[in-house]
Amino acid sequence: MFELIRKTKIDFLGKRKFAFIFSGIFSIIGVVAIVQIANGKANLGIDFAGGTSIQLKFEKTVNLHEVRKALEEGGVKDFDLQDLPTERKILIRVKKTEQELGKASDELTGLISKKFPGNKYVVDSTTEIGPKVGRKLRADAAKAVAMATLGILIYVAIRFKFDFAVGATIATFHDVLAVLAVFFLLGKEINLILVTALLTIAGYSLTDTVVVFDRIRENLRLRIKEPVEAVMNASINEVLSRTIIVSLTTLFTGVSLFLFGGEVIHDFALAIILGIIIGTYSSIFVASPVVLLWRKKRPFAKK
């Protein structure tokens, strides 16, 4: 029998103070990110903010600086550039254009053609989102998050006793907030596909938590006389290898997506990877300590 992790005796719950501080900070940053998104101050993708983005693939290498100059000279405001030098691609995003849709992308390609007459390009993709659609997509995303949260909450409430439900819910929220916090801190774009990733994380987050909780419940029934904290610690240690390996296989596929899945879903894969890692951490360091705290607070809570 090959084992990655043999029998361990780590005092996970003893380290809960550090875990709470660490997780608390990330959760707060996550909340700040949500507030900023609501105020339109975060780096919103054009699907939420409205605007135009075009991706061009050139025949010869282009200098990003030159592209920037061409657009600035052409009077384009509030744009950002990204390039994939290995594939001679550049991505131009212009947010919240007041222009009629169709005009902005024409203007951008016009300026580029004028600046680089000798360097032919093809338009890989054009995305133009009017403000009305942006608003609708934002509302839809908010609704989706609310619905998914509600759905998971209801399921957790049905399947777990109250104290475990609290732990599972907090761990799920924590995972989503922490991933959002990392994206916010990295200045990555907040767009529809990130919301998709966050919801997927919310759905997946429970996987490890369930593994840990099932064992804790089982052991609490068996070892009635031992202190709760000791039973919990023992349970986490018992299922440690399982918790990690379950995440590991999904992590493999996440990494494969990140490295080979292409530029379009790069950030999506990154979010999934972060979500899996944070989810595993939280099932050990967040979910169980929360249950313990809840139990301590009301020692006579009915079982």
269-298 positions binding other proteins, by CB under 8 A: 269, 272
Which stretch in 21-29, 34-42, 58-66, 196-204 sits in contact with other proteins by CB under 8 A? Answer: 196-204
Q: Which of 26, 173, 268, 285 binds other proteins (CB under 8 A)?
A: 268
How far apart (Å, rounded) are the C-alpha atoms in residues 106 and 110? 6
The one among 193, 220, 228, 277 contacting other proteins by CB under 8 A: 193
**Sole window of 29-37, 67-75, 95-103, 290-298 interacting with other proteins (rule: CB under 8 A):** 95-103
CA distance 214 to 208: 10
- The C-alpha atoms of residue 13 and residue 233 are separated, in whole angstroms, by 6
Rounded to 5°, angle at Cα 210 from 209 and 215: 105
| 274, 4 contact by CB (below 8 A) | no
Query: Minimum distance from CB of 220 to other proteins (Å)?
Result: 16
* Site stretch for other proteins (CB under 8 A), options 18-26, 62-70, 191-199, 290-298: 191-199
Q: Which of 180, 199, 274, 287 binds other proteins (CB under 8 A)?
A: 199
Q: What share of the chain is helix, strand, coil (3-state, %, to 5)?
A: 70, 10, 20
**Integer Cα distance of 269 and 191 in angstroms:** 14
Nearest approach, Cβ of 202 to other proteins (angstroms)? 6
Binding range to other proteins, per CB under 8 A, among 9-17, 24-32, 58-66, 96-104:
96-104
Which is closer to other proteins, CB of 31 or CB of 192?
192
Size of the site for other proteins (CB under 8 A): 71
Residues 214, 219, 221, CA angle at the centre, nearest 5°? 100
Report the chain's C-alpha Rg in angstroms: 24
Question: What CA–CA distance (Å, rounded) separates 239 from 231?
Answer: 12
In single-letter form, the type of residue at position 167 comes to G
Residues 157-186 that bind other proteins (CB under 8 A): 159
* Using rule CB under 8 A, residue 74 touches other proteins: no
Residue with tokens 């384009």: 76
Candidates 23, 27, 55, 282; binder of other proteins (CB under 8 A) is 55
Nearer to other proteins by Cβ, of 32 and 265: the residue is: 265
Sole window of 20-28, 30-38, 63-71, 128-136 interacting with other proteins (rule: CB under 8 A): 128-136
